[in-house]
Chain A
Amino acid sequence: MNIATRKLKSTTIVDINGHIDIGSSPAFRKALLDYLKASERLAVNLRAVKYIDSSGIASLLEVLKEARGSNKKFVLFGLTAAVREVLQLTRLTGVFEIHETEAEAVEIATQVGGAP
């Protein structure tokens, strides 16, 4: 798994590439929590995620809770079939704010207001 970040408007975009499983999810979780601390708005690009397991989903859920607790914005976009299916299996599709494109994610993330 590789993680990179960039800034677009006032949103930090986190680009994830590769597999997120029990081997990589601790680093995934820590990176997202660190980026969230340093940003008011975080958008996670999952377009290049080939695989995610329940530990990766739990990491996303933990970051979402942290964002809500600190009144920050946390959105996901570019979900691959693999990611979408795991969210459906774990019944969490409706819990996250999910967008198709980066433009939508950034626009929503920069709108006034905190967590959904």
Chain B
Amino acid sequence: MSFVVPSDPRILTVIRAAVGELCLVYGLPGEECRGITLAVDEALANIIRHAYRGAADQPIEVACEARADRLEFTLLDQGEPPDPARLAPHPLDSVSLGGRGTHIIRMVMDEVCYQQVPRGNQLRLRKLLPAAAVATGAGRENL
């Protein structure tokens, strides 16, 4: 499953619905579905806020891929590259207002990989499926 969406915050609710339903299809429990949906949403919000500086008309490619053992979400934008300091893990304190989105992504997903590729900034988020889901799932599947 892949689509290109504008960097418009109003579109986030559509992506959240799609990601949440996808997680349910692959047998993930409700809390996991909500966590993955949140992580993907936070990554998109970072692109809108930082890479495109709030511009609502820029393209974001979203690809969701289900494999036998994992769900993978790849986001691609052509905005400004992220500040490495913002991507790096850092401890949270109770007073800072920012940086929680990146923290959430790292807490929820099993693997987070950022790369600059010829077409722009690529963020890959990977979530391993629980054993039960693996046992009932088919092989690689492009959604």
Interface residues of A (CB under 8 A from B): 19, 21-24, 51, 53-55, 57-58, 61-62, 65, 81-82, 85-86, 89-92, 95
B98 proximity list for chain A (CB < 8 A): 58
Determine the distance from Cα of A61 to Cα of B108 in the docked complex, in whole angstroms.
22
Q: Which residues of B contact A (CB under 8 A)?
A: 9-10, 12-13, 16, 30-31, 34-35, 38, 41-42, 45, 48-49, 92, 94-95, 97-98, 100-101, 103-104, 107-108
When distances are taken between beta carbons in the complex, the residues of chain A under 8 Å from B38 are 53, 85-86, 89
Q: Is the CB of B41 within 8 A of A53?
A: yes
Q: Among B9, B45, B48, B100, which residue has its beta carbon within 8 angstroms of that of A90?
A: B100
The B interface is mostly helix, strand or loop, or mixed, namely helix
C-alpha gap A53/B42 in the complex (Å):
7
Q: Are A21 and B92 in contact (CB under 8 A)?
A: no
Give how many A-B residue pairs fall within 8 Å (CB-CB): 62
| Pairwise interchain contact B45-A21, C-beta atoms closer than 8 A | yes
**Please, which residue of chain A has its CB at the minimum distance from the CB of B106?**
A89
Query: Are the C-beta atoms of A85 and B31 separated by less than 8 Å?
Result: yes
Please, which residues of chain A bring their CB within 8 A of the CB of B101? 53-55
For A22, what are the chain B residues with a Cβ–Cβ distance below 8 Å? 9, 12, 45, 48-49
CB distance from B103 to the nearest CB of A (A): 7
